[in-house]
């Protein structure tokens, strides 16, 4: 999807961030079925498949990435593998096709990849996921709590059922708590926990009331856990994406909103997963060794206020 709008300055190639990617548009009149499949998207996201180049920043590291089948999770998996890390990918069974695509990209790097389908709303499964990573990767030093569920409801709270509220909280908050707690005995000093928050934690919208509530909770969880684990040498940070083009968008938003998705950012477009993944690499690497309890916005210029 990248354009050819380049500028030459001295010996450096520069690219205008406003036009690096065109505005994505979901083709077709019907909304994708949640959680959405990448191959069904009219405009395919960029996960860094052909652009991300590693530099050895995570050689020998062992990572778990939840929601690792597509979107931000796929981009992080590709980036981590190209930086030298082995990964375990957690995803829903119905996302197997997307997961296999991600697995293929990781295997091309020569790194080890483990597929672990299942619903992380199950506390027992969360514990099994951690143990499998420890057993089959030989340890664990990066936990990326990325999986999330959202379903926009134009009518706000009146249209949010208890069932939906429960699903969003269990996926976005409970699973993060269970996974972090289960991982703790296995994380050595120097390890990192990286959570996916959202601009919605700071600028919540009524149709995403339940989702925004969980993302605000993730911000508080991240800051509190960072204080809790600092004396163990474990850093905890979060990435707060803005509007990022992933299968979740055309699968959970009204069709009329999809074509303008991201247009209200200062950069005027939605971001791509490949533009978010470097933040997760930064937080996992030694380059951020003096940073913990931080929330890094990747929002196209929308402030986290």
21 given a catalytic annotation: no
Which residue from 223, 222, 197 is spatially nearest to 211, judged by alpha carbons? Answer: 197
Cis preceding-peptide flag for 35 (omega within 30 of 0): yes
Q: Which residues contact 181 (CB under 8 A, 6 or more apart)?
A: none
The secondary element (H helix, E strand) that includes residue 250 is: helix 248-252
Q: Of 145, 199, 147, whose CA–CA distance to 168 is shortest?
A: 147
Q: Residues 52, 80, 211, 280: which is the catalytic one?
A: 211
Is there a contact between 197 and 219 (Cβ–Cβ < 8 Å)? yes
SS3 192: strand
Cα(83)–Cα(209) distance, integer angstroms:
36
**H or E stretch at 50:** none
Say how far residue 271 (Cα) sits from the centre of its chain.
12
User: Which residues are catalytic, by number?
Assistant: 211
């Amino acid at each position: 999807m990248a354009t050819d709008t380049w500028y030459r300055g001295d010996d450096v190639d520069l690219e205008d961030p406003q036009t690096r990617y065109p505005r994505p548009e979901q083709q077709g009149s019907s909304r994708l079925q949640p959680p959405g499949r990448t191959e069904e998207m009219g405009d395919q996201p960029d996960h860094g498949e052909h652009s991300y180049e590693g530099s050895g920043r995570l050689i020998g590291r062992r990572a778990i990435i939840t929601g690792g089948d597509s979107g931000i999770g796929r981009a992080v998996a590709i980036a981590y593998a190209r930086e030298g890390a082995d990964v375990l990918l957690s995803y829903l069974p119905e996302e197997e096709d997307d997961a296999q695509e991600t697995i293929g990209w990781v295997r091309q790097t020569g790194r080890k990849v483990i597929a672990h389908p299942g619903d992380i709303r199950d506390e027992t499964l969360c514990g099994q996921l951690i143990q499998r990573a420890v057993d089959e990767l030989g340890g664990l030093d990066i936990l990326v709590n990325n999986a999330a569920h959202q379903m926009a409801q134009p009518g706000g709270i009146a249209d949010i059922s208890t069932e939906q509220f429960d699903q969003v909280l269990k996926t976005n908050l409970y699973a993060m708590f269970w996974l972090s707690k289960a991982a703790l005995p296995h994380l050595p000093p120097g390890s990192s926990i990286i959570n996916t928050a959202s601009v919605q934690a700071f600028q919540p919208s009524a149709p995403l009331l339940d989702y925004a509530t969980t993302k605000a909770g993730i911000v508080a969880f991240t800051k509190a856990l960072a204080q809790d684990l600092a004396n163990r040498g474990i850093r905890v940070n979060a990435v707060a994406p803005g509007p990022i083009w992933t299968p979740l968008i055309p699968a959970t938003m009204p069709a009329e909103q999809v074509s303008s998705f991201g247009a209200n950012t200062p950069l005027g477009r939605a971001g791509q997963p490949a533009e978010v993944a470097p933040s997760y690499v930064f937080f996992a690497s030694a380059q951020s060794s003096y940073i913990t309890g931080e929330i890094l916005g990747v929002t196209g210029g929308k402030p986290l206020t």
